[in-house]
Amino acid sequence: MPKKICGIRVLNVGKKTTLKEIYRQTRKELTASQLPKVCRHGPMISGDQFLADMEAIHQKALRQKKKKKK
């Protein structure tokens, strides 16, 4: 019997399976009733907050890069 996680069967694929074949098999096996279990959304943040966070991370990385060069 195939292994299941959250009621959804685990997809077993071979080493040389292409991404296109994996998507095709997944679409065939995933039912509409299983979709909400897979697509759980966590807490959301606004786009402005996300952009501000990314800019802060970028600035920090630039500062660290400058310190390494010195």
What is the full per-residue pLDDT of the chain (70 aa) written as tens digits?
556 666 667 777 888 889 999 888 888 877 777 777 767 777 788 889 999 999 999 999 999 988 877 6
| pLDDT of 58 | 94
Total domain count, the chain: 1
Q: What is the pLDDT of residue 14?
A: 85
C-alpha of 35 from chain center: 15
How far apart, in whole angstroms, are the C-alpha atoms of residue 12 and residue 1? Answer: 12
Helices (H), the chain: 19-29, 35-38, 47-69
Return the H-helix or E-strand segment holding 9.
strand 8-9
- What pLDDT, on a 0 to 100 scale, did the predictor assign at position 32? 75
Q: Domain range spanning residue 19?
A: 4-69
Q: Residue 8: beta bridge partners?
A: 5
The model's pTM = 0.40
Cα–Cα–Cα angle for 56, 58, 60, nearest 5°? 70
